[in-house]
Chains A and B, each alone.
Chain A
Amino acid sequence: MVTIRKPRSTEGLVRFESVTKRYGNKFAVENLSFEIAQGEVIGFLGPNGAGKTTAMRILAGYFSPTSGRVILDGMDLFREPQRAKRHVGYLPEVVRLYPDMRVREYLRYVAELKGIRPKDIPMEMEEKISLCGLTDVEHRLIGRLSKGFRQRVGLAQALIGDPPVLVLDEPTTGLDPKQIAEIRALIRDLGKRRAVILSTHILPEVSMICNRVIMIHQGKVLASGTVRELESCLKDREAIFVTVPGAQYQETAEEILSKISGVENVRVVERHENEIQFCLETAQDEDLRPEITKFFVESKIPVLEIRRDQLTLEEIFLKLLKDGWFQQRTKIEAKAET
């Protein structure tokens, strides 16, 4: 069994060295480099298709990268896969398990495949079953479990053998709020003595459980830093949502909005039969809502709703992209240094 101890090297427990993965001519991950130390929980953020799953599958040893190296506690993951893989536990994005096996039987199978000594297997299973709250379903067929419980079985199999590195691909999707809270607490706890890397689309989740964030887009690192750094960089931006009735107002409204000083990035976010919603960005310190309302009233455009909100993850991405990721990255890194 792999026991958690001080990493052999003083550097990170996990090190990606210019990892590239290509599908045909398409780069899913390009020149990705980062490090994770023991005791860190890293949030992997990125829009759909950014390459999060691909990077995590590489780290889990599912397939090898087209080029580059992954170093795990001083071992090259693809030179010594047998030894290195014992140090990683992986929870896939969609947890696929054998539907015709029972929970206990399955976990025993996983323990055997992970090379746990037969005499340690019963204790190992007991521990993971109770840790993941599976005691009530341990004799049920996996195919008959609800999604939330299957997710827990997935987590239990990742934890078997106590690997010092945990790779969790969207661990909370499809769970109910109570389970989400439980899983988050569990991950935070696990992260104290391990290196955890998790991907998510939920920004608050990152601030709740991660020490550090790596944002990726089109397979490249867009920004990386601690949650605090990232937030402070983005906090000064806010979004205002304006809803007007009917398509006939679209052009005039767009024109008015883009003329107001301090407004950036006006775009339509939703369009229904007789409702159009615009989103625009402003600096945080000035509330432009009164001004916007005034202009709309003057032009006789009815306003159905006007609302201020923090930028969502998607909008942060659009913004980072618009500013150019190189600039933004240096900006965040510069902030990190001060």
Chain B
Amino acid sequence: MRKVFAIARKEFGSFFHSWTGVMTAVMFFAVTGIFFVILTLNFAQISMDPRSAGLSSFPNISQTHYVFGSLFLNLNVILLFLVPLITMRSFAEERKHETLELLFTYPLTDLEIVAGKLLGLIWFFEMLLVPLAGYALVFYWIGGELDWGPVLSAFLGFWVLGMAYLSAGVFVSTLTKSSVMSAVGTFGILVIFWMMDFAPMSGGGGVSVVVNAMSPLRHFRNFTYGILDLRDLIYFAFFFFYFLFLSLRSIETRNWKES
């Protein structure tokens, strides 16, 4: 376990060695901040003048759901861009610099290597989540009526969604030497997962139902409503470990493949 932490620490630290790491964090704070401010102001405007927004009466709209439900749903689109930036370098960079050769000669299992990398990326992602908690506090402080249940569950959902996506990104990163290719590939895969949500739930035939059931967004949305369902958690755990397994298989190929 100590070795896993050593790898994770190095991976986490490498974000601060490069401009991309710092820029990613700054961009994420900026974008989420802007979303939060816009949503809060919008809400304030609607609540003061519901008719201008085409609503006859106001009180039945939940503040929490309007601001935080929308915020987290928007965040999941941001995640499509954020995750590739976080994961692109993990293995691709090691393959580019050919530093894996030495890493594989140390007394480490492949699982320790992949788990360490993934953990470092997860720490970085979690660091980005801290300001989001700040938004909730700000909202509360400026007098918003916060329904803590849905906010916390949305937070949890975003966290597991992010980890699942990171696992997919790490897998893509093991496939290439180029971090650009790695980012583009991860983005592609995540967009495909995102589009699965558009498959109609009924009336589209069996395939469509299955695709919809596999959509990460569908499972994530439950969290933003404040619904904690074990099935959603199992879904994300499966997603995470499936890509972790693929990464392990991918780095194992050195034993039988050329180059």
Contacts and interface: CB of A to CB of B under 8 A. Distances in A.
B102 interface: yes
Contact of A96 (B102, B107, B254): B102
A110 interface: yes
A86 interface: yes
A100 B18 contact: yes
Contact of B104 (A62, A82, A112): A62
Interface stretch (A87-95, A173-181, A277-285, A308-316): A87-95
Contacts of A60: 105
A83 B109 CA distance: 11
Contacts of B107: 81-83, 85-86, 113-115
A81 B105 CA distance: 9
A295 interface: no
B16 to A, nearest CB: 10
A90 B106 CA distance: 9
B102 A63 contact: no
Interface string B91-116: 00000011101111111110000000
A75 to B, nearest CB: 12
B255 interface: yes
A92 B100 CA distance: 11
B7 interface: yes
B229 interface: no
Contacts of A101: 10, 17
B174 to A, nearest CB: 15
Contact of A113 (B7, B98, B101, B254): B7
B42 interface: no
Interface in B18-66: 18
A269 interface: no
Given A112-B3, A112-B6, A88 B98 contact: no
Contacts of B99: 96-98
A61 B104 contact: yes
Contacts of B2: 112, 115, 118
Contacts of B3: 112-113, 115
Nearest to B96: A96
Contacts of B105: 60-62, 85, 88, 90
Contact of A99 (B97, B108, B254): B97
Contacts of A23: 258
A120 to B, nearest CB: 13
B14 interface: yes
A218 interface: no
Contacts of A85: 105-107
Interface in B121-162: none
Contact of B106 (A63, A96, A97, A110): A110
23 contacts: A60-B105, A61-B104, A61-B105, A62-B104, A63-B104, A66-B256, A81-B109, A82-B109, A85-B105, A85-B107, A86-B107, A90-B102, A96-B98, A96-B101, A97-B97, A101-B17, A109-B6, A112-B2, A112-B6, A113-B103, A113-B106, A114-B107, A157-B102
Interface of B: 2-3, 6-7, 10, 14, 17-18, 97-99, 101-109, 254-256, 258
Given A62-B104, A81-B109, A114-B106, 10 more contacts: A66-B256, A81-B107, A82-B109, A90-B105, A96-B99, A97-B102, A101-B10, A101-B17, A113-B108, A114-B107
